[in-house]
């Protein structure tokens, strides 16, 4: 069956521009998570959705980062006024329910020049 | 609060030799524990998970891990390494109600002929 998909796979943007990253979770998965993987570092949790509400936004690094989710479907992570330190691979994962195993998408590699 | 420590950022093993990747965690409640593998330019794939049903957990590709509460460890092993096991391996813990994962820094495995 279809797994988690993310688009674009690669994004190069200039410093100061806004970017939108998209995640399509596995159909029926109510929980959705965003993580960030910076070069040479582990994965950092960004935000968690249960349905279309976000009870845990504790990992968002600044108010330039925001995310939304439509129902139990697509999620968009938006980064405003991008900075070079935002360069990373952004990974999305979905789960049938919180606490269950998470299935990851291939990620979006963001490069801010 | 939860945290994960993976000992050794790089491990080199000979083909056919034992693979041992170490993971220690801290958690204030009984955790869920996971091992994920990441092949180059791909997302994370679940290898195995511990959810308190059994302390010895078998996963895909011949990997297994043992949960030792007294040692707060969840080390990953494979009796005989294959060239295809070359990848980065991440240990992760989840102990909060939202299911978010706290990852270790990762261990890069190199398999030599």
Q: Which residues contact B110 (CB under 8 A, 6 or more apart)?
A: B10, B11, B12, B13, B86
**Is the pLDDT assigned to residue B73 strictly greater than 90?**
yes
> Which is more confident, B107 or B51?
B107
Q: What is the pLDDT of residue B56?
A: 93
Query: d(Cα A95, Cα A109) in Å, to the nearest integer?
Result: 22
Q: What is the pLDDT of residue A71?
A: 78
Contact (CB<8Å) B44/A55? no
Q: What is the pLDDT of residue A95?
A: 92
Contact (CB<8Å) A104/B32? no
Q: Which is nearest to B38 in space by CA: A96, A92, A106, A70?
A: A106
Q: What is the pLDDT of residue B49?
A: 92
Contact (CB<8Å) B99/A105? no
- Contact in structure between A100 and A25 (CB atoms under 8 Å): no
Q: What is the pLDDT of residue B1?
A: 66
When the pLDDT of each residue in chain B is averaged and rounded to a whole number, the result is 91
In chain B, residues with a C-beta closer than 8 Å to the C-beta of A93 are 44
Query: d(Cα B54, Cα A93) in Å, to the nearest integer?
Result: 25
Contact (CB<8Å) B44/A104? yes
Confidence category of residue A55, pLDDT binned at 50, 70, 90: confident
Tokens 């195993």 locate to A101
Tokens 């690669």 locate to A10
Contact (CB<8Å) A42/B97? no
> A-side interface with B, Cβ within 8 Å?
4, 31, 33, 35, 41-45, 48, 50, 55-56, 59, 91, 93, 95, 97-107
Looking at the complex, report in whole angstroms how far the Cα of residue B52 sits from the nearest Cα belonging to chain A. 13
């Amino acid at each position: 069956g279809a797994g988690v998909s993310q688009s674009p796979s690669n994004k190069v943007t200039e410093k100061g521009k806004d970017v939108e990253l998209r995640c399509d979770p596995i159909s029926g998965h109510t929980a959705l998570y965003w993580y960030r993987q910076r070069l040479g570092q582990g994965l950092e949790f960004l935000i968690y959705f249960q349905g279309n509400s976000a009870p845990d936004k504790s990992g968002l690094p600044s108010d330039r980062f925001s995310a939304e989710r439509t129902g139990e479907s697509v999620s968009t992570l938006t980064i405003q006024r991008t900075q070079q330190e935002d360069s990373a691979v952004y990974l999305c994962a979905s789960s049938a329910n919180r606490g269950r195993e998470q299935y990851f998408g291939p990620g979006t590699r963001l490069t801010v020049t | 609060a939860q945290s994960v420590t993976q000992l050794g950022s790089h491990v080199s093993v000979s083909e056919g030799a034992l693979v041992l990747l170490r993971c220690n965690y801290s958690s204030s409640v009984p955790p869920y524990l996971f091992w994920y593998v990441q092949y180059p330019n791909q997302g994370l794939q679940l290898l195995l998970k511990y959810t308190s049903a059994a302390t010895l957990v078998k996963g895909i590709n011949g990997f297994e891990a043992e949960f030792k509460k007294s040692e707060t460890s969840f080390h990953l092993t494979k009796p005989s390494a294959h060239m295809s096991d070359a990848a980065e391996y991440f240990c992760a813990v989840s102990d909060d109600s939202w299911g978010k994962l706290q990852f270790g820094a990762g261990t890069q495995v190199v398999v030599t002929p």
